[in-house]
Structure 1
Amino acid sequence: MKAILVPAESHGDGEHALRMAAEVARRFAGHVEAFALQMPPLVNLTWDPAGVAIMNGADFDHRRNRDEARELTERVMREADVPIAPGEGDGGAEALAGVSARSGPRWSWNDKPMAGDAFLGCYGRVFDLTVVGRPSPEGASITSLESALFESGGPILIAPPMRLETGFGESIAVAWNGSSETARTIAFARPFLRMAKRVVVLADDGGLGDQPSGALVQRRLAASGLDVELKLLPSGGIRSGETILAETRALGCDLLLKGAYTQSRLRQMIFGGATSGILAKADLPVFMAH
């Protein structure tokens, strides 16, 4: 996890994802690249002076939001003791060149204007991890999370909407439902799993049919030298976000691994699903991939 991308937003929950990105960088001696996530203004097709004034005001708001996002990023990284990369204040992707040769965590700022969800998803393809906030009405957007999840091709780490008093990843719960998405999530999460003191596989082996069991996932991870437990859930429990979160809390785990949208997004919008439930209520970091 050397290359970490995080969108910076100046709303109330904006600093939680930044703090989590800083923690990942400290843990893996990685490089955080931050940018101001903001939507492009609507195109003004008229010559109405009032319309021009509105556009000028929108441009001012974007500049102000970008400045506030950078100030927030600088403060969080300073408090987390993550220094800016020497000479790379606005380095963008170039700031990542040679990062493996440096000792300790670093961060840089990408000053790309009007960088929105499309940029977040596309640009995330050249990073090991994208850190985003958990969606909420006043905070991070579900469209930003889903852009990073579906378009980057890599994993995302979701910060809960509160400041964590301690670190995370010492005790990891893996929600195993037999899906390819969850298998991919486990593969992406190897760096975190290797550093964990305890790993618990949550599974509903009776409901998996011909798909590999939780016991086989436990065997796979144990073969890598990990201390792995298996917790079998009641029938259907692995399909419930609330059950997964409740079991994760009861076990004292501080990071949840979950394949995202193993059922279609449309189905989950209509009927609900584990991913939707977790995104709505998770109060711990969640590592996801699709």
Structure 2
Amino acid sequence: MRASRYPPSCRAVARTACASCVHRESAMKTILVLAWDAEDTSPFDTAATLAHRFGAYVVGLGPPSYRAVSVAWTDVGMGAPFDTPLADDEEERKRMAGLRAAFQRSMAAAGIAEGQGDDTSPSATWTELQNAVPMAIGSIGRVADLMVVPQPGPLPRMPESLFEGALFDSGRPVLLVPAGRHAAVGKKVVIAWNGSTETARALSMAMPLIKAAEAVEVISIEGAMVQGPSSDELATALRRHGLSVSARHCGAGGKSTGQAMVDEATKFGADLIIKGAYTQSRLRQMIFGGLTRHLILSSPIPVMFAH
């Protein structure tokens, strides 16, 4: 039998998360959440909001250390993505303690009890994956209905490699949360439609959020579509679920397709965007830009991605 590469605490969390996860179309019952900096608790607060909505079990996951992220980048032939010295072990312990305390404060402020709870009341627990490779977040996330992470970027923001590990290695939807307070997530939802397989998959995974929303709009941007159904056709299909859904196909107006999508979603008053990630290749988007990459790095609105 092959030995697990995760510490016992993480294996235990994976087992309990599996046991407590109830797969229903109408609910997201297990939410895995990671923050990078204790100064930004927006992922914790957002996870708490969703936990109340669905009666979910929240697993707060301590992030990999700066050292682990640096080693992972070196292994693929790249330098460390940091222009500051790596934190020593004592600094890492303080960082992890600060994140754990921030998670516990967020859950307590939201009235979420510590422990596993039941299928109707939200509950929360904390575990650490401090010395594991960054991609391990995706493996742990395979037993979650939703993963919540901060918006990536250069320090002091979370490295983009962690977001990609969550997205590509979990097979689960990833909710990316920009810094700041997001009082409501999922009340007014925009589906960033481009006709693609990736966005169709994201849409399927997001149905619990879509069905719980107060208003839904399908928005497509001229120049960002692939061959596939139109935004009007998608809206018609969603109405068959008994949902009130509007649709718009918009021009970019001289802006990038990513900025045009953000502007149109803001105009709708969206507090959540749903998008399939990387219809174009990651390399192409890194070189030439694209709708996915703009939303990953620059959206002021939380975005739920799937691939």
TM-score band by shorter chain is 0.7 to 0.9
One-letter amino acid of the counterpart of residue 264, structure 2: E
Secondary structure of the residue aligned to 1:4 is strand
Structure 2 residue 57 is matched with structure 1 residue 31 = yes
TM normalised by structure 2 equals: 0.79
* Partner of residue 193 from structure 1, selected from 210, 214, 222: 210
State the 1:130 CA deviation.
0.5
State the 1:58 CA deviation.
2.7
State the 1:157 CA deviation.
0.7
State the 1:76 CA deviation.
1.1
What CA distance in whole angstroms lies between the structure 1 residues aligned with 2:228 and 2:193? 11
Structure 2 residue 29 is matched with structure 1 residue 12 = no
Give the equivalent residue in structure 1 for 2:13.
none
CA-based RMSD of the aligned residues comes to 2.3
Give the equivalent residue in structure 2 for 1:49.
none
Structure 2 residue 174 is matched with structure 1 residue 156 = yes
State the 1:262 CA deviation.
1.0
One-letter amino acid of the counterpart of residue 56, structure 2: G
Compared with structure 1, are the counterparts of its residues 236 and 154 closer, same or farther at alpha carbon in structure 2 (3 Å cutoff)?
Answer: farther
Structure 2 residues not aligned, in runs of 5+: 1-27, 72-86
Give the equivalent residue in structure 2 for 1:88.
none
What CA distance in whole angstroms lies between the structure 2 residues aligned with 1:237 and 1:258? 22
CA offsets 1:98-120 (integer angstroms, 9 cap, x no match):
x6x44310000114442442221
Give the equivalent residue in structure 2 for 1:267.
284
State the 1:9 CA deviation.
3.0
Give the equivalent residue in structure 2 for 1:243.
260
Comparing 191-200 with 115-124, greater Cα deviation is found at 115-124
What CA distance in whole angstroms lies between the structure 1 residues aligned with 2:255 and 2:55? 34
One-letter amino acid of the counterpart of residue 140, structure 2: Y
Is the CA contact (8 Å cut-off) linking 1:175 and 1:238 kept in structure 2? no
CA offsets 1:190-241 (integer angstroms, 9 cap, x no match):
0111011111111257974741111221111100011010111127999711
Structure 2 residue 47 is matched with structure 1 residue 21 = yes
* Partner of residue 141 from structure 1, selected from 159, 181, 197: 159
Give the equivalent residue in structure 2 for 1:179.
196
Compared with structure 1, are the counterparts of its residues 69 and 235 closer, same or farther at alpha carbon in structure 2 (3 Å cutoff)?
Answer: closer
Is the CA contact (8 Å cut-off) linking 2:221 and 2:260 kept in structure 1? no
Compared with structure 1, are the counterparts of its residues 11 and 141 closer, same or farther at alpha carbon in structure 2 (3 Å cutoff)?
Answer: farther
* Partner of residue 112 from structure 2, selected from 67, 71, 82: 82
What CA distance in whole angstroms lies between the structure 1 residues aligned with 2:296 and 2:126? 28
Compared with structure 1, are the counterparts of its residues 207 and 68 closer, same or farther at alpha carbon in structure 2 (3 Å cutoff)?
Answer: closer
What CA distance in whole angstroms lies between the structure 2 residues aligned with 1:80 and 1:279? 27
The residue correspondences of 1:200-279 to structure 2 (distance < 5 A) are 200-204=217-221, 208=225, 210-234=227-251, 240-279=257-296
CA offsets 1:129-168 (integer angstroms, 9 cap, x no match):
100001133222211111101111010111111112x312
In the comparison of the two structures, how many residue pairs are matched? 262
4+ long deviations beyond 6 Å: 235-239
* Partner of residue 60 from structure 1, selected from 85, 90, 105: 90
* Partner of residue 187 from structure 2, selected from 145, 157, 170: 170
Is the CA contact (8 Å cut-off) linking 1:201 and 1:229 kept in structure 2? yes
Structure 1 residues not aligned, in runs of 5+: 44-56, 86-94
Is the CA contact (8 Å cut-off) linking 1:238 and 1:274 kept in structure 2? no
* Percent identity over paired residues: 35
One-letter amino acid of the counterpart of residue 201, structure 1: V
Is the CA contact (8 Å cut-off) linking 1:40 and 1:114 kept in structure 2? no
What CA distance in whole angstroms lies between the structure 2 residues aligned with 1:67 and 1:146? 25
State the 1:38 CA deviation.
2.2
State the 1:66 CA deviation.
1.8
TM normalised by structure 1 equals: 0.83
One-letter amino acid of the counterpart of residue 172, structure 2: G
What CA distance in whole angstroms lies between the structure 2 residues aligned with 1:72 and 1:78? 10
One-letter amino acid of the counterpart of residue 275, structure 2: K
Comparing 128-137 with 180-189, greater Cα deviation is found at 128-137
